[in-house]
Structure 1
Amino acid sequence: MRHFLLTVALLAAPAIAKPDADTKAWLARTAELSSDAMEGRDAGSPGHARAITLVEGWFKAAKLKPAGENGSFRQTVPLHEVAVTAADMRVVSPDGVAAPLRFLHDVTPRPATDLPATLSGAMRFAGYCSAAEAGPELKGKIAVCFGSRRPGRATAAERLAAVTAVGAVALLTVDDVGFTVEPPRWPDAYARSVAHDGAPLPSGLPQFRVNGAALATLIAGSRRLAAAILTDATYHRDLESFDLPGRFEAKLTTVQRRFTAEQLIGLLPGTDKAKANEVLLLGAHIDGYGLGEPVNGDALYNGTLDDAGYVALISQLASRRRGKGFARPVLFAAWTAEEKGLLGARWWLQHPTVPKAQLVGVINLDQLRPLFPLKALTLHGLGQNTLADTAKSVAEGLKIEIRPDRESERNLIRRVDSWPFMEAGIPAVNFVFAYNPRSQQEAIYRDWYQRRYHRPQDDISTPMDLDAARDFNRFFSTLVETAANGAARPVMRVGAPPSP
Structure 2
Amino acid sequence: MQRTTFLLLLGLCFALSACHRQDPLEIAQQAITPERLAEHIQVLASDAFLGRAPASAGEMLTVNYLVEQFQALGLQPGHQGTYTQDVPLAELTVDPRSVRLEVRGPQGQLHFRYGDEAMLWTKRLAPKITLQASEVVFVGYGIVAPEYNWNDYAGVDVRGKTVLMLVNDPGYATGDSALFTGRAMTYYGRWTYKFEEAARQGAAAALLIHETGPAGYPWAVVQGSWSGPQFTLANEQQNMDRCALEGWLTYEAAQRLLRLAGRDLEQLKAAAAQPGFRALPLGLQLSAALESTVRQVQSRNVLALLPGQKQPDEVVIYTAHWDHLGVNPSLAGDSIYNGALDNATGTAGLLALAHAFTTLPEPPARSVLFLAVTAEEQGLLGSTYYATHPVFPPAKTVAVLNMDGLNVLGPMRDVTVIGYGLSDLDDYAQAAAAAQGRYLRPDPEPEKGYYYRSDHFSFARIGIPALYLDAGIDHVVHGTEWTLKRRAEYVAQHYHKPSDEYNPSWDLHGAVDDLRLLFHIGYQLANSTDFPNWREGTPFRALRDQQRNER
Q: Same fold, TM exceeding 0.5?
A: yes
1:455 Cα shift? 2.0
Q: Is the 8 A contact 2:89 2:231 kept in 1?
A: no
Q: Does 1:420 align with 2:430?
A: no
| Secondary structure of the corresponding residue to residue 376 of structure 2 | coil
Q: Does 1:121 align with 2:133?
A: yes
Aligned to 1:37: 48
Compared CA separation, residues 158 and 421, structure 1 to 2 (3 A) = closer
Aligned to 1:15: none
Counterpart Cα distance in 2 of 1:230 and 1:364: 38
Aligned to 2:4: none
Aligned to 1:50: 61
Q: Does 1:478 align with 2:517?
A: no
1:142 Cα shift? 5.2
1:27 Cα shift? 0.8
Q: Is the 8 A contact 2:92 2:293 kept in 1?
A: yes
Q: Is the 8 A contact 2:325 2:337 kept in 1?
A: yes
1:179 Cα shift? 2.2
Identify which of 35, 46, 62 aligns with 2:73: 62
Q: Does 1:105 align with 2:105?
A: no
1:431 Cα shift? 0.9
Q: Tell me which moved more, 181-190 or 257-266.
A: 181-190
Amino acid of the residue matched to residue 131 of structure 2?
L
Q: Is the 8 A contact 1:148 1:176 kept in 2?
A: no
Q: Does 1:74 align with 2:111?
A: no
Compared CA separation, residues 356 and 96, structure 1 to 2 (3 A) = closer
Counterpart Cα distance in 1 of 2:330 and 2:376: 22
Q: Does 1:495 align with 2:536?
A: yes
Question: Which has the higher Rg, Structure 1 or Structure 2?
Answer: 2
Counterpart Cα distance in 2 of 1:368 and 1:234: 37
- Alignment RMSD: 4.1
Aligned to 2:432: 394
Amino acid of the residue matched to residue 284 of structure 1?
A
Counterpart Cα distance in 2 of 1:427 and 1:163: 29
Counterpart Cα distance in 2 of 1:75 and 1:489: 28
Q: Is the 8 A contact 1:126 1:241 kept in 2?
A: yes
Counterpart Cα distance in 1 of 2:461 and 2:164: 34
| Secondary structure of the corresponding residue to residue 474 of structure 1 | helix
Amino acid of the residue matched to residue 308 of structure 1?
A
Paired residue total: 472
Compared CA separation, residues 243 and 417, structure 1 to 2 (3 A) = closer
Aligned to 1:313: 349
Amino acid of the residue matched to residue 173 of structure 1?
L
Counterpart Cα distance in 2 of 1:344 and 1:163: 22
1:196 Cα shift? 4.8
Compared CA separation, residues 372 and 450, structure 1 to 2 (3 A) = farther
Compared CA separation, residues 316 and 243, structure 1 to 2 (3 A) = closer
Q: Does 1:333 align with 2:371?
A: yes
Question: 1:305-342: CA deviations, max 9, x gaps?
Answer: 22211211121232344464432321111111222232
Q: What's the TM-score once normalised by structure 2's chain length?
A: 0.72
1:55 Cα shift? 0.8
Aligned to 2:176: none
Q: Is the 8 A contact 1:345 1:420 kept in 2?
A: yes
Counterpart Cα distance in 2 of 1:394 and 1:456: 35
Q: Is the 8 A contact 1:376 1:434 kept in 2?
A: yes
Question: 1:168-219: CA deviations, max 9, x gaps?
Answer: 8644432235527555544243353501564752523534310113235535
Counterpart Cα distance in 1 of 2:195 and 2:425: 38
Counterpart Cα distance in 2 of 1:93 and 1:348: 45
Aligned to 1:276: 312
Aligned to 2:242: 203
Q: Tell me which moved more, 22-31 or 135-144.
A: 135-144
Q: Is the 8 A contact 2:319 2:373 kept in 1?
A: yes
Q: Does 1:411 align with 2:449?
A: yes
Aligned to 2:254: 215
- Long gaps (5+) in structure 1: 1-19
Aligned to 1:150: 170
Counterpart Cα distance in 1 of 2:408 and 2:540: 25
Counterpart Cα distance in 2 of 1:54 and 1:206: 37
Q: Is the 8 A contact 1:218 1:244 kept in 2?
A: no
In terms of fraction of residues, the more helix-rich structure is 2
Question: 1:408-452: CA deviations, max 9, x gaps?
Answer: 443322222222322333232111124379822222112211222
Compared CA separation, residues 234 and 466, structure 1 to 2 (3 A) = farther
1:301 Cα shift? 1.3
Aligned to 1:13: none
1:389 Cα shift? 1.2
Counterpart Cα distance in 2 of 1:327 and 1:214: 57
Identify which of 351, 364, 378 aligns with 2:389: 351
Q: Is the 8 A contact 2:209 2:248 kept in 1?
A: yes
Identity over aligned pairs, percent: 25
